[in-house]
Structure 1
Amino acid sequence: MLSFEGAQTLGDAAIVEKLASLPLDGLRHQVATKDAQPCEGGILINVTGQLLAGGESNPQFFCQTFLLKPEGGSYYVQNDIFRLVYGL
């Protein structure tokens, strides 16, 4: 499941479609913090930082939390929550 700015998307095809629809060209990011913990056989990761869209001069703060689960010698993203942080 993907939660992006409060909108939930479920299923591989729907998540790929949602990600493809986002205006990501020219987007730069700077990671400020990253934390990880073991969680139910996987890894829970929280990342904070700033995004800067092409042509913009003011960065936007963000927070993203996702759960990685092992599968076949690798990991996949089972859950992903992304939020822009306003008012900082």
Structure 2
Amino acid sequence: MSMTSAQASAFSTAGGFTATESSTLWVGLAVALIVLWGVWTFQSIYRGWATRNLDRAAATGGVIRWTLLFMIMTFMLLH
């Protein structure tokens, strides 16, 4: 559902930025959060693997779960 020109004008006047700029900001923050969570996930997997406290199945499961979530979320956010 798109905004009418009156709604877009009111949004721009009240906020000081357009709805498209706001959407870009929130999508960018969401993608950045997912990527940061991925960095934390892979760092945790590496630490567990390096100290031999994590087996191959658990490491593979973590990588697959993050990859699937990343693919789904980027499709939903960027589509």
TM-score (norm 1): 0.24
Over alpha carbons, which structure has the higher Rg? 2
Greater share of residues in helix: 2
